[in-house]
Amino acid sequence: MKFLAKNDALCIGCGECEQVCSKTYFKESDREKSTIQINDKKITVCTQCGECIDVCSVGAISRDKNGIVRINKKLCVGCFMCVGFCPELAMMMHGDLLEPFKCIACGKCAKICPTQAIYISKES
């Protein structure tokens, strides 16, 4: 299963990952719109555990063939239960957006991370 793995000990808190994420996802530079969050060199990001899939009562969250947990925005009704129930606190909400958003393990942040504190893992 593919996911963005992390090693908090290597994080220097530069925030490069947050910038590239929000630019990739939303075409703007706003760390509040990053699916990865760095606070005091602690990395918060989705582990693709999938607990949110069963929490969603409208069936808007599912796992794709690569094991990535994805949100179907068309079906999502913006209740944010998945945000409150995420064990990693990695399902995100922003006031500009009607749906939650999350890491899909695209790997852009891993490529830019200067210390390899984050990296794409394919371990099960």
Site for another protein in 59-78 (CB under 8 A): 59, 77-78
Closest CA to 6 of 29, 30, 38, 50: 38
Q: Which is nearer to another protein, 73 or 111 (CB)?
A: 73
Stretch that binds another protein, among 16-24, 26-34, 54-62, 64-72 (CB under 8 A): 54-62
Give the ranges where 27-85 is alpha helix by DSSP (H).
Answer: 51-55, 81-85
Number of residues that bind another protein (CB under 8 A): 17
CA-based torsion, 30, 48, 71, 58: positive or negative: negative
Residue 81 contacts another protein per CB under 8 A? yes
